[in-house]
Amino acid sequence: MTTFSRIRATLWRTAIQAIPTVFGIVILVFLLLQMAPGDAVDVLAGESGGISEDGLAMLRTRFGLDQPVLVQLLIYLNNLAHFSLGYSPRYNAPVMELIMTRLPGTLILMLLSQLIAISAGIVLGAIMAAWEGKWPDRLLSLVALLLYSTPAFWIGLMALVVFSVWFGWLPSGGNITIGADLHGWDYVKDFAAHAVLPVVALAGFFVAIYARLVRASMLEISRLDFVRTAHAKGLTPFIVTVRHILRCALAPLITVAGMHFGTMLGGAAVVETVFSWPGLGRLALEAVMARDYAVLLGILLLSSLTVIVANMLVDILHAWLDPRIKANN
Amino acid sequence: MKPWFEFRHLSRIALVAVVALSASTAFAQQPKRGGTLNLILTSEPTTLVTLTTVATTTLSVSAKVSEGLLKYDYDLSPQPQLATSWTISPDGKEYTFNLRQGVKWHDGQDFTSADVAFSILTLKKIHPRGVNTFANVEEVKTPDAHTAILVLSKPAPYLIKAFAAAESPVLPRHIYAGTDPLTNPNGNAPIGTGPYKFKEWVRGSHIIYERNPDYWDKPKPYIDRLVVKFFADPAARSLAFETGEADLGYRTPVALGDLDRFKKLPNVAFETKGNSYSFNVSSLQFNLDDKHFDNARVRQAIAHALDRKIAVQVGYYGYGVVSDSPIAPGLKAYHDPSPSPYAFDLKRANALLDEAGYARGADGFRFKATLDFNPISDDFKRLAEYTRSALSKIGIDVTLRAQDLSAFVKRVYTDRDFEFTINGHSNLFDPTVGVQRLYWSKNFFKGRPFSNASHYVNPEVDQLLEDAQTEIDPVKRAALFTRFQQRVAVDVPDINLVSPQFITIHNKRVHDHSLTADGVESNLADVYLE
C-alpha cells in the first residue's frame, strides 16, 4: 500500500468513527449536565440579587427550561442536524459566534505550547538519554520532576510577578494591547509579548512528560540490534542517536502528544484565567458556573472534534513515520 | 482659658483649614483632556444594559451609555441628570420630571419624554427589580416633549431614589419599539445619551467606549476612551494594578489580604466614597423550618456566641463595620444603632442550650449542623469558618458545605434543603427595596433567590413593612423601620453581622471617578487622567 492510500484510509476511518463519538459525547454530556444542581435561570436570578415570580417563569420559557429534559435534548439535536449550535439566552448571542470569537485564541495557545513542549521534550529527553546516569541526566530529571509537579497557575503567577511586575518586560494579561490598532510586524511583536508567558506556563507540565517519555524510549531502543549494527558499520554516535534512535522514539511521543491534546484544553482553562487570555477554556468554565448548557455543549462538541482531528493527524504521522503501521488495523 | 473653649477653638481652626484645603485642591485640579482609562471587572457582563439583569458586571458598564433621569450625592439626595428639575405632589402620587432639552441619542435622534415613558413602562414590565419598584406606576403622561409625569396608584416614598442610570436606565424608544426588549440588539451594542459611545465588545476580552463629542454636558467627558477589561483571577487583578495596566476597579477588586501591601504601592490609591447606593449586610440566616433552629432559644444562644467585632476582622480583615441590624449603618436615615438584645456572652449561650434541652454528649457536642455559605465571594467562606469555630465553643458541631452559586441558590431557595446559611444582601437605596424582601412573609416563594430564606412569619413585621411602603412622612417612616428592626432583633430569624466596606482602587493618575452615590457605576462623565 502506498503512503497516500494509507493516509486516505486513515481519513475515511476517522470520519466514520467521529460521527458516533460526537453523538455519544453530546448525549452523555447533556445528561450529565442535567444532574448538576440549579439551572441557568437560578444563576441569572442569583446574580441579580432577586427577581419576581413572573420574571422567573418568563426567563425559564425563554431559556427553554420549561420543557421536559428529553424535549430539550431533541431540540438540541435538531439544531445540530441543521448545523446550528443553538442560541445562548444568557449572552443574547448565537453559541457559534461566542465560540468562534474565542476558538482562535485557545488554538494558538495550545498549538504553540504543544510545539514548544514537543521540541523541548525531544531535546531534553535526548540529552538525558545520551548522558544516562551522569549529572546532566540527574539535573534534567530533577527539572522535569519540578515541572511535572508544579501547577500551571502557580508557574504562571510567578512568571507574571517576575517578568511583568519586577522587570516590567512583559504585559500582565490579555492577548493584545487593546485599542492600539497595530498592524503587520508590530501586531506580531505585541501578540508574541502577550503570548510568551501563557504559552510557557501551559507547556511546562507537558515538557516534563515528553522529556521523560523520550528518555525512556530512547534508552530502550538504544539496546536493540539495529542500533548495534549502525554503530558497527561505523556511524558516529551523534548520527546513530538522531537518525536511528530518536526517529524510532518519536512514535510513542507522537501518540502521547495526541492523547494529551484534550488534557491541554483543560490546562488552558487555568492558564487563560491567570493571564486573562480570551479563550475557550475560560468560556467553558463560565458556562459551567452559569449552567449555560448550550454554550458548554457547543464547546465540548468542538473540542471533541478538535481532539478527533488531532488524533487523526497522529495516525497519519504514524503512517508516514513507520511504514509497518497499516492504517486499517 | 478654659480647656473646653480651647478645644472648640482648635476644632474650628481645623474646620476652616479643611474647607480651605478642599477649596484650594478644587481650584488646583483642572480636569485634563485626553487619555485612555482602563476599568477592570471581575467577570464579563452578559449584556451591556441593565434592562434584563442587574448583575454587578452589567451595572458596572450600563450607565456609561444609558443615562438616568437623576443622579445622587453621597447621602442619596437626588441631583439632575436627564431631568433638570422634578416635583412630587403632596399626596406622593404624582412625579413630574422636566427633561433636559437639546439632548440627542448617539444615533442623532432627539431625546424626548416619549423615551422616558417607554423606559419606565418597560422597566416595570421586565426589569428584575423594576417590576417591584415601579409596581405602583399606573401611567406615564407626556404633556409635551420635555415633561414626563409618573402617576402612581399608591405613594412610593422610595421611588425618588430609584432613578439612577444603572438602576433605571432611560432607553431609546425608537430602537426598542415593536421589538422584544429581551433579545433587542441594543443590549449588546447600546445606544444612549451618555458621555461614552459604545465602540466594540470583543467577547472574553474587552469592551471599548469612545468619548461622545456631542455630550450634553460639555466640556465633559474628558477622557478619549474607556476600556473595560475582564480579569477573572484575583491575583491577576492585583498584578494588573501593580503594573499600571488597570486604572480603576471597585467593590474591592483585589483579595482583602492584598490591601495592606497595596497601601504601600506608590502608584495606587484607595477610595471609599461612591458606595452608598448599595450597602450590604452579611448575616447568618436560619431555616426556621429546621428541627433545631425553629427553637428561639437555640437561635438566641448562637447570637450570644458570635462576636461581631471578630467577624469584621476574620471575614473582612477589618474592612467593614459591625451591623446588628439588617439595615446597614451606612443607610443612616433608617439604621437603628441599638445593639442586639443578645450580646456576646458564651455563658448565657451555653445556659440557653441547656435550657433548650440540648445536653452535651460524651464528645462535648450537643448537636450537629451543616452550614451552607454563599460562594459568590470569599468573605462568606471566612465568616462561615469563624462561625464554625465560635459555635464549637458552645457545643455545636458545624460542618461547612461548599457549592457553586447555582447549587447554593437551588438548595436554599428552591429545595430549602439547608439548616442555616452565611449569606449577604444589599440594602440597595432603600429598606423597602433591599430589606423588606428578607422578612416579609408574603415574599416567601420557593425558587425566588434572595427572598425570605428563613421563612420568617410575623404579622406585626408584615404590617410595619407594608406601612413603610406607602408612608410619605419621612419621620413616621423612619419610626416604622425602627420598630421593625427592634422586632426582628428580638425574634432572631437571622443574625446580622457585618456591613462590609467596599474599596475602590485606582491608579493615582485617575481623578473624580467617585463623585456620586454609585461611584464607578455612574456614567463617569467627570473622570479625568493626570
Tell me which of A325 and A294 has the higher pLDDT.
A294
User: Counting Cβ atoms within 10 Å, is residue A252 exposed (0-12), middle (13-18) or buried (19+)?
Assistant: middle
Q: What is the least distance, in Å, from the CA of B297 to any CA of chain A?
A: 30
- B136 shares a domain with B237: no
Distances (CA, A) of B397 to B338, B363, B368: 31, 10, 5
- Identify whether B362 is part of a domain: yes
Tell me which of B419 and B10 has the higher pLDDT.
B419
> Per residue in A32-78, pLDDT tens?
888 888 888 888 888 877 677 777 887 888 888 888 888 988 888 88
Q: What is the least distance, in Å, from the CA of A207 to any CA of chain B?
A: 25
- B326 shares a domain with B290: yes
Best B167, B205, B426 residue to mutate vs chain A (most A CBs within 10 Å): B205
Residues 6 or more apart whose CB falls under 8 angstroms from that of B76 comprise: B161, B276, B277, B429, B517
- Identify whether B58 is part of a domain: no
- B493 shares a domain with B351: yes
Rounded to an integer, the average pLDDT of A206-216 is 92
- B369 shares a domain with B348: yes
Which pLDDT score, from 0 to 100, does residue B8 have?
Answer: 44
Asked whether the beta carbons of A41 and A65 are under 8 A apart, the reply is: yes
B405–A275: do the CB atoms touch at under 8 Å? Answer: no
Q: Which residues of A touch B449 (CB under 8 A)?
A: 42, 45-46, 48-51
Residues 6 or more apart whose CB falls under 8 angstroms from that of B503 comprise: B250, B252, B259, B270, B271, B272, B319
Most confident of the following: A159-163, B202-206, B396-400: B396-400
Q: Which residues of B touch A173 (CB under 8 A)?
A: 229, 231, 236, 239-240, 245
Which pLDDT score, from 0 to 100, does residue B9 have?
Answer: 46
- B393 shares a domain with B263: no
Rounded to an integer, the average pLDDT of B290-307 is 96
Asked whether the beta carbons of B430 and B444 are under 8 A apart, the reply is: no
Which one of A44, A50, A89 has the shortest CB-CB distance to B450?
A50
Tell me which of A58 and B429 has the higher pLDDT.
B429
A175–B126: do the CB atoms touch at under 8 Å? Answer: no
- Identify whether B11 is part of a domain: no
pLDDT of B292 above 80: yes
Residue of B nearest to A270 (CA): B233
Q: How confident is the model at residue B37 (pLDDT cuts 50, 70, 90)?
A: very high
Best A33, A34, A41, A52 residue to mutate vs chain B (most B CBs within 10 Å): A52
Which pLDDT score, from 0 to 100, does residue A324 have?
Answer: 67
- B382 shares a domain with B256: no
- Identify whether B52 is part of a domain: no
Which pLDDT score, from 0 to 100, does residue B25 have?
Answer: 47
Rounded to an integer, the average pLDDT of B97-112 is 96
> Per residue in B497-512, pLDDT tens?
999 999 999 999 999 9
Q: Which residues of B touch A286 (CB under 8 A)?
A: 43-44
Which pLDDT score, from 0 to 100, does residue B68 have?
Answer: 97
**Overall number of domains in chain B:** 3
A55–B208: do the CB atoms touch at under 8 Å? Answer: no
Distances (CA, A) of B217 to B116, B222, B223: 19, 11, 14
B25 interface with A at CB cutoff 8 Å:
no
Task: Give the closest residue to B484 by CA, choosing from B365, B338, B319, B302.
Answer: B338
Which pLDDT score, from 0 to 100, does residue B210 have?
Answer: 96
Question: Cell match 419610626: residue?
Answer: B479
DSSP letters of A208-220? Answer: HHHHHHHHHHHHH
Rounded to an integer, the average pLDDT of B96-122 is 96
HSE-CB for B251 with a 13 A CA cutoff: 21
- Identify whether B29 is part of a domain: no
Which pLDDT score, from 0 to 100, does residue A2 have?
Answer: 67
Residue of B nearest to A180 (CA): B36
Q: What is the least distance, in Å, from the CA of A176 to any CA of chain B?
A: 9
Q: What is the least distance, in Å, from the CA of A308 to any CA of chain B?
A: 26
B470 interface with A at CB cutoff 8 Å:
no
A37–B410: do the CB atoms touch at under 8 Å? Answer: yes
CATH code where residue B511 lies: 3.40.190.10
pLDDT of B341 above 50: yes
Residue of B nearest to A51 (CA): B128
pLDDT of B20 above 50: no
Q: Which residues of A touch B176 (CB under 8 A)?
A: none
Residue of A nearest to B133 (CA): A52
Residue of B nearest to A160 (CA): B239
pLDDT of A320 above 90: no
Q: How confident is the model at residue B148 (pLDDT cuts 50, 70, 90)?
A: very high
Where b means 16+ CB within 10 Å and e means fewer, A269-297 reads bbbbbbbbbbbbbbbbbbbbebbbbbbbb
Q: Report helix, strand or coil for B421.
A: strand
State the DSSP H helix or E strand holding residue B498, giving kind and residue range, or none if neither: strand B494-500
- B284 shares a domain with B272: no
User: Range with the lowest mean pLDDT among A316-320, B71-75, B85-89, B494-498?
Assistant: A316-320
B205–A168: do the CB atoms touch at under 8 Å? Answer: no
B344: left (phi over 0), alpha (psi -120 to 50) or beta: beta
B348 interface with A at CB cutoff 8 Å:
no
Which one of B232, B407, B449 has the shortest CB-CB distance to A276?
B232
Count of C-beta atoms within a 10 Å radius of residue B134: 22
Q: Which residues of A touch B36 (CB under 8 A)?
A: 179
CATH code where residue B309 lies: 3.10.105.10
Residues 6 or more apart whose CB falls under 8 angstroms from that of B175 comprise: B107, B184, B186, B191
Which of B 174-233 lie inside 8 A of A, CB atoms?
Answer: 182-183, 187-188, 202-206, 208, 225, 227, 229-233
Which one of B243, B404, B450 has the shortest CB-CB distance to A172?
B243
Which pLDDT score, from 0 to 100, does residue B24 have?
Answer: 43
Question: Cell match 471599548: residue?
Answer: B208
- Pick from B182, B203, B235: which residue ends a domain? B182
pLDDT of A294 above 90: no
- B484 shares a domain with B369: yes
pTM here is 0.87
Q: Which residues of B touch A98 (CB under 8 A)?
A: 203
Count of C-beta atoms within a 10 Å radius of residue A123: 15
> Per residue in B161-179, pLDDT tens?
999 999 999 999 999 999 9
Task: Give the closest residue to A100 by CA, choosing from A262, A260, A283, A273.
Answer: A283
Best A33, A34, A43, A286 residue to mutate vs chain B (most B CBs within 10 Å): A43
- B426 shares a domain with B312: yes
Q: What is the least distance, in Å, from the CA of B446 to any CA of chain A?
A: 9
Residue of B nearest to A36 (CA): B407
Which pLDDT score, from 0 to 100, does residue B528 have?
Answer: 96
- Sign of the Cα torsion B100, B106, B108, B109 reads negative
> Per residue in A141-190, pLDDT tens?
898 888 888 888 888 888 888 888 888 888 877 877 777 777 888 888 88
Asked whether the beta carbons of B284 and B497 are under 8 A apart, the reply is: yes
- Identify whether B2 is part of a domain: no
- B242 shares a domain with B291: no
> Per residue in A221-267, pLDDT tens?
888 888 888 888 888 888 888 888 888 888 888 888 888 887 887 78
Asked whether the beta carbons of B148 and B140 are under 8 A apart, the reply is: yes
The mean predicted confidence, pLDDT, of chain B is 92
Domain of residue B94, residue span:
66-182
Bridge partners of B320, per DSSP, are B500
Which pLDDT score, from 0 to 100, does residue B446 have?
Answer: 83
- Identify whether B20 is part of a domain: no
Residue of A nearest to B225 (CA): A179
Percent of chain B with pLDDT over 70: 95
B46 interface with A at CB cutoff 8 Å:
yes
Q: Which amino acid is at A245?
A: I
Which of B 70-129 lie inside 8 A of A, CB atoms?
Answer: 126, 128-129
Q: Which residues of A touch B437 (CB under 8 A)?
A: 50
Distance linking the first and last C-alpha atoms of chain A: 13
Which one of A52, A157, A174 has the shortest CB-CB distance to B205?
A174
Which pLDDT score, from 0 to 100, does residue A170 have?
Answer: 85
Rounded to an integer, the average pLDDT of B48-54 is 91
State the DSSP H helix or E strand holding residue B41, giving kind and residue range, or none if neither: strand B36-41
The mean predicted confidence, pLDDT, of chain A is 84
- Identify whether B240 is part of a domain: yes
- Pick from B182, B211, B234: which residue ends a domain? B182
Which pLDDT score, from 0 to 100, does residue B206 have?
Answer: 92
Rounded to an integer, the average pLDDT of B294-299 is 96
Which pLDDT score, from 0 to 100, does residue A326 have?
Answer: 53
DSSP letters of A260-288? Answer: HHHHHHHHHHHHHHHTT--SHHHHHHHHH
B448 interface with A at CB cutoff 8 Å:
yes
- B368 shares a domain with B248: no
Percent of chain A with pLDDT over 70: 96
Q: How confident is the model at residue B337 (pLDDT cuts 50, 70, 90)?
A: very high
Q: Which residues of A touch B236 (CB under 8 A)?
A: 157, 160, 172-173, 273-276
B236 interface with A at CB cutoff 8 Å:
yes
- Contacts A–B by Cβ distance under 8 A: 171
CATH code where residue B94 lies: 3.90.76.10
Rounded to an integer, the average pLDDT of B444-471 is 93
Best B226, B374, B404, B408 residue to mutate vs chain A (most A CBs within 10 Å): B404
Which pLDDT score, from 0 to 100, does residue B497 have?
Answer: 97
pLDDT of B447 above 90: no
Q: Which residues of A touch B243 (CB under 8 A)?
A: 164-165, 168, 171-172
Q: Which residues of B touch A96 (CB under 8 A)?
A: none
Which grid coordinates are listed for B526? 467627570
- Pick from B182, B205, B224: which residue ends a domain? B182
Rounded to an integer, the average pLDDT of B9-30 is 48
Q: What is the least distance, in Å, from the CA of B442 to any CA of chain A?
A: 12
- B306 shares a domain with B205: no
User: Range with the lowest mean pLDDT among A84-93, B194-203, B342-351?
Assistant: A84-93
Task: Give the closest residue to A173 by CA, choosing from B255, B206, B236.
Answer: B236
B245 interface with A at CB cutoff 8 Å:
yes
Helices (H), B377-528: 378-392, 405-409, 431-434, 436-439, 459-470, 474-491
B204–A283: do the CB atoms touch at under 8 Å? Answer: yes
